[in-house]
Structure 1
Amino acid sequence: MDKIFLIEWSELLIPTHSLAEIVIRGTVMYLALFLILRFVMLRQSSTIGIADILVIVLMADAAQNGFAKEYKSVTEGVLLVLTIVFWDIFLNWLSYHFKIFERLLAPAPLVLIDNGKMNRRNMRSQFITEEELRGQLRQQGVSDMSEVKHAHLEANGEISVVKMDSNDDSAGKRKKPI
């Protein structure tokens, strides 16, 4: 019965691992997973950015470490979560203030349609089928591909469409329905 109310304060609050090691582990894991998601799993998310998903997953896992036997103190779990949040904020700050980091951390928009013609090479590289592209165009109110001046796959996974002006449209061109 006395075990129910017994609190091991030293295990709860005093770290059992080096605090520097926890910061280094959090840093290495965040950067490694970010690079993997950035360069291997390109544009797989939709409206939430890759870094946002990464932070949510890592924070959940890091917070769990504070409850598990792997880390015995809450301090270690909190420090790991704070390390992950620090790197997310710091990388966002870097990309906002320095264009070189913005180019490195966020992919540039990828051209899918240029002047009414599909860029099949770019579509193939991102595994976007013609039917998927046509479906996205229909959702944006475009009934014919010849109406599209440019369509880009954005960094967040969405497709942005710029329609042709009436001056851009070639007179007498036969329109192929989507």
Structure 2
Amino acid sequence: MDMRWLTDVDWKDLLVPHTALLEIFLRGSLVYLCLYALLRLVLRRQRGGVGVTDLLVIVLIADAAQNAMAGQYTSLPDGLLLVAVIIGWAAVLDWLGYRFPLVQKFLSPPPLVLYSKGKLNRRAMRSENITVDEIMQEVRLQGMASLEEVELVALEGDGQMSIILKDQRARRQGKDLA
């Protein structure tokens, strides 16, 4: 029985890029930046604590790595460069957001008030497709039975809801006066 299929490796096919490295860089950059912009503009509300950038990096790296491992890219450098481009853009966007407040506003939007001073902000709720039931679920998760105990509910830039209780505000004002 011939066992060469186990040991014969086409080293050139494995290690020599078959696609121009600049093309891989440009394709990876354009796909990442376009998907990031689309996800940022379309999706604000997210499930769990995973941000858009994290989710996008995970999905794109998984796909790029799969292509490199499965042979759709016929060399490892093709796939590894694409993975590096995706991680690089995630790092660059984080750095730009840290250095430039205008970029940070795009990367992480300001909170959106959903409930304040006894009134639901129906327009904001409608724009994010958030129902009263979803707000009440968050209120209950914080240990409150009704919105009467709540001063403010805001949808944060990362998709999480933050809740400020009425007595938290009073306690904070008391500390400020002391």
What's the secondary structure of 2:6's corresponding residue? coil
Unaligned runs of 5+ in 1: 169-178
Offset of 1:109 from its aligned partner? 0.9
**Alpha-carbon deviations, 1:92-134, whole Å to 9, x = none?**
1111111111001112211001112111111111111111111
**Counterpart mapping for 1:79-98 below 5 A:** 79-98=81-100
Quickly say closer, same or farther: Cα 1:167–1:159, change in 2 above 3 A.
closer
- What is the one-letter code of the residue matched to 1:56? I
Give the equivalent residue in structure 2 for 1:157: 159
CA distance in 1 between counterparts of 2:111 and 2:48 reads 14
Determine if contact 2:112/2:124 at 8 Å carries over to the other structure: yes
Which segments of structure 1 move beyond 6 Å, counting only runs of 4 or more? none
Report the Cα offset of residue 166 of structure 1. 8.2
Following superposition, the deviation at residue 157 of structure 1 comes to 1.7
Give 1:49's aligned amino acid: G
Structure 2 unaligned spans of 5+: 171-178
Supply the AA of the counterpart residue of 1:45. Answer: R
Question: Which amino acid in the other structure matches residue 141 of structure 2?
Answer: Q
Distance 1:166 1:32 in 2: 41
User: Cα offset for 1:36?
Assistant: 1.1
Does the CA-based 8 Å contact 2:44-2:158 persist in structure 1?
no
Shift of 1:155: 1.7
* TM-score (structure 2 length as normaliser): 0.88
Count residues in correspondence. 168
C-alpha spacing 1:122/1:79, structure 2 compared with 1 (3 Å): same
User: Residues 61-83 of structure 1: CA distance to partner in whole angstroms, max 9, x if unpaired?
Assistant: 01012123321100110000000
CA RMSD of aligned residues (A): 1.6
Instruction: Give the whole-Å Cα distance in 2 for the aligned partners of 1:92 and 1:167.
Output: 32
Distance (Å, rounded) in 2 between the aligned partners of 1:109 and 1:28: 29
Note if 1:64 corresponds to 2:66. yes
The two structures have a TM-score, normalised by structure 1, of: 0.88
Identity among equivalent positions (%) equals: 42
Counterpart Cα distance in 1 of 2:169 and 2:152: 15
Which residue in the other structure is 2:23 paired with? 21
